[in-house]
Structure 1
Amino acid sequence: MMKIYIIHENDEWTAPLLTALEELNTPYESWHLHEGTVPLDDIPPSGIFYNRMSASSHTRGHRYAPELTSAVLTWLESHGRTVLNDSRALRLEVSKVAQYEALKKHGIRVPKTTAAVGVDALLKAADEFETPFITKHNRAGKGLGVQRFDHVNDFKKAIENHIVEPSIDGIMLLQQYIQAPDSSITRCEFVGGKFLYAVKVDTSEGFELCPADACQIGEQFCPADGTNSDAPKAKFDIITDFSSPLIEKYEAFLTDNGITFAGIEQITDTDGQIYTYDVNTNTNYNPQAEEKANIFGMKEIAAYLNTALLDLKKHSADNSVNKF
């Protein structure tokens, strides 16, 4: 039986999607790729494969989940299977460097960034980088490695005292610090490669180091978490009348890079310049903001997947008839 196959490593993040698929009576199977095998000599099952692998998988003990996913996607794509958020999307998910270079190809402004491997190279880059700057991990998510430094000497002391956590892939980023006058960022959500809605994230509380990555610093601020009222939270508000010339560029960028579902984050500085600084291909949604706006990202994704599956079944049936 054809079904939806969901490739991921986080059951909690995936649960809302499974609920939405069940409401549509859409058959699905969850592929949790913390560990596993890839039967390269076998033919993959028929269906629609949705890749939700996360760059932050190693923080949940799933160090090689992206590498396993890469092998699985290679296997699926070599057999012509439909993969949504394909191997090109996975490459961008696990590399900020790849994200920024791909965004720039579409005329999308990103913060000035230098990538470095090794302590000596990182210190040399810092000597030449304008302050203030922030550090980031190349393979990130959840604000991994994000710290703000106003002076190079402060950064050097942090390195000496092992305060700067290294990136899991060894590539550290130094990045231009963007000051948002209203302490907020905007996250644009896309389903089926098309704009769904934008959400404004208030970063005024608890994000002194880097407002630009506020919605990902620590799991207590995860957009998907709407249950723990005791934890400090960012404020998420869906912008009902949002419009931007960047939307068309974002959609072209997504199409060009095999990305069907994503959240793209931007920040506006004091001069009104907009910088795009993150692409999330395993996007999550804030339930409180969606309830208020009466729009639901996971339900939209489920509907898109259901239609894709029905189209695949029809195409397969038509091909079977045409053989006779």
Structure 2
Amino acid sequence: MGYQKKIYVLHENSEWTAPLLKELESLNLPYEDWYLDEGILDLTSIPPLGVFYNRMSASSHTRNHRYAPEYTASILSWLEGHNRVVFNKSRALQLEVSKVAQYSALNAHGIRTPKTIATVGRKNILEAAKTFDMPFITKHNRAGKGLGVYLFEDINALERYVNSPEFEEPIDGITLIQQYIQAESPTITRCEFIGGKFYYAVQVDTSDGFELCPADACQIGEAFCPTTSEPKQKFKIIENFHDPIIKKYEEFLSANNIHFAGIEFIRDKNETIFTYDVNTNTNYNPDAEARAGKYGMQAIAETLGAELILL
């Protein structure tokens, strides 16, 4: 019996991966689930033939998978050294786990990001913040899930936080101080890309905070207004979205070997776009997709399947 080529899904969070596996099964595509919270890699071994999809997350440490990204980086180097087909290659993982790397790469493609200073050490957080106009925000360099994102109106408030037991130490030690972008409404836009090409844009209501994961497993229910029978939609796919930023995003993704991603931006009061996050472990909101009739995980599964046929 001949060896069966498969689609291999590399990850550390089964809840986020379950919708993709469901779509692979519905298309009768052979796959294998590679859960990379820990493991053994024999560098003298030869990787199996197949298509490999990297879905490693920057927030893995919040699920007690502290070294999953580092282990995945080793796996990806091994796969790429043997010329295997990899979606979201090593460079994608490098950008996933570092906002500093993201912003540097975005800026290199003429994509504007908010003013940001990276700091190590609590005293340096305070020193860097003094160079910003008020208000400003903090965030973690290796983030995901809105880790360390706080809005500060003045230096004194930041100093109290930094010197308190509530201070959240970043997993890589790097805290970012970032320009606060004031938008006309409490929303951001997330552009989804599949196979490196624009798929759709979704408007996200941020009035309830910064944890913007769209996955079904992250949802706590739509915000409900007691004065109306209609729940407020936190995620809403924008029909016929067009903007020149899309071309720049596609060029940026191609240059960095990123095939599947969600890129988030905010418009200020002058309609200037500031891009602040690239998520290479992208998830999709099932309610928003059902309303729009567009399904990201299905499209990813089809893309992976089409590549498998070519092997």
Q: One fold, TM greater than 0.5? A: yes
Change (3 A) 1:160 1:13: same
Q: What is the rounded CA distance, in whole Å, between the counterparts of 2:218 and 2:66 in structure 1?
A: 27
Q: What is the rounded CA distance, in whole Å, between the counterparts of 1:12 and 1:223 in structure 2?
A: 9
Q: CA deviation at 1:174?
A: 0.2
Q: What is the rounded CA distance, in whole Å, between the counterparts of 1:272 and 1:293 in structure 2?
A: 26
Q: Deviations over 1:159-215 (max 9, x none)?
A: 1213331110000000001111111000000000000000001122x22xxxxx451
Please give the TM-score of this superposition, normalised by the length of structure 2.
0.94
Q: Deviations over 1:210-249 (max 9, x none)?
A: xxx4514xxxxx4434875388886111011100100000
Q: Deviations over 1:238-284 (max 9, x none)?
A: 01110010000000000000100000000011111110000000100
What is the aligned counterpart of 2:181 among 156, 174, 178?
A: 178
Q: What is the rounded CA distance, in whole Å, between the counterparts of 1:133 and 1:202 in structure 2?
A: 20
Q: What is the rounded CA distance, in whole Å, between the counterparts of 1:227 and 1:55 in structure 2?
A: 19
Partner of residue 98, structure 1: 101
Matched, 1:121 2:124: yes
Q: Aligned with 2:133: secondary structure?
A: coil
Q: Aligned with 1:63: secondary structure?
A: coil
Q: What is the rounded CA distance, in whole Å, between the counterparts of 2:68 and 2:218 in structure 1?
A: 26
Matched, 1:142 2:134: no
What is the aligned counterpart of 2:33 among 17, 21, 30?
A: 30
Q: Which runs of 5+ in 1 are unaligned?
A: 208-212, 217-221, 313-324
- Percent same amino acid among aligned pairs? 59
Partner of residue 300, structure 2: 301
Q: What is the rounded CA distance, in whole Å, between the counterparts of 2:55 and 2:218 in structure 1?
A: 20
What is the aligned counterpart of 2:11 among 4, 8, 12?
A: 8
Please give the TM-score of this superposition, normalised by the length of structure 1.
0.90
Pairing of 1:219-234 with structure 2 (within 5 A): 222-225=214-217, 228-229=220-221
Q: Deviations over 1:114-137 (max 9, x none)?
A: 000111221211122222110000
Task: Give yes or no for contact 1:193–1:261 (8 Å, CA) kept in 2.
Answer: yes
Q: What is the rounded CA distance, in whole Å, between the counterparts of 1:39 and 1:187 in structure 2?
A: 39
Task: Give yes or no for contact 1:93–1:99 (8 Å, CA) kept in 2.
Answer: yes
Q: What is the rounded CA distance, in whole Å, between the counterparts of 1:228 and 1:149 in structure 2?
A: 26
Q: Aligned with 1:43: secondary structure?
A: coil
Pairing of 1:66-215 with structure 2 (within 5 A): 66-204=69-207, 206-207=208-209, 213-215=210-212
Look up the equivalent residue of 1:22 and give its one-letter code. Answer: E
Q: What is the rounded CA distance, in whole Å, between the counterparts of 2:211 and 2:219 in structure 1?
A: 19
Look up the equivalent residue of 1:82 and give its one-letter code. Answer: V
Task: Give yes or no for contact 1:203–1:234 (8 Å, CA) kept in 2.
Answer: no
Partner of residue 237, structure 1: 236
Q: What is the rounded CA distance, in whole Å, between the counterparts of 1:309 and 1:294 in structure 2?
A: 26
Task: Give yes or no for contact 2:106–2:113 (8 Å, CA) kept in 1.
Answer: yes
Q: Aligned with 1:215: secondary structure?
A: coil
Change (3 A) 1:228 1:154: closer
Q: What is the rounded CA distance, in whole Å, between the counterparts of 1:94 and 1:230 in structure 2?
A: 29
Look up the equivalent residue of 1:298 and give its one-letter code. Answer: M
Q: Which runs of 5+ in 2 are unaligned?
A: 225-231
Task: Give yes or no for contact 1:88–1:257 (8 Å, CA) kept in 2.
Answer: yes
Residue-pair matches, total: 301
Task: Give yes or no for contact 1:262–1:283 (8 Å, CA) kept in 2.
Answer: yes
Task: Give yes or no for contact 1:7–1:31 (8 Å, CA) kept in 2.
Answer: yes
Look up the equivalent residue of 1:229 and give its one-letter code. Answer: G
Matched, 1:40 2:43: yes
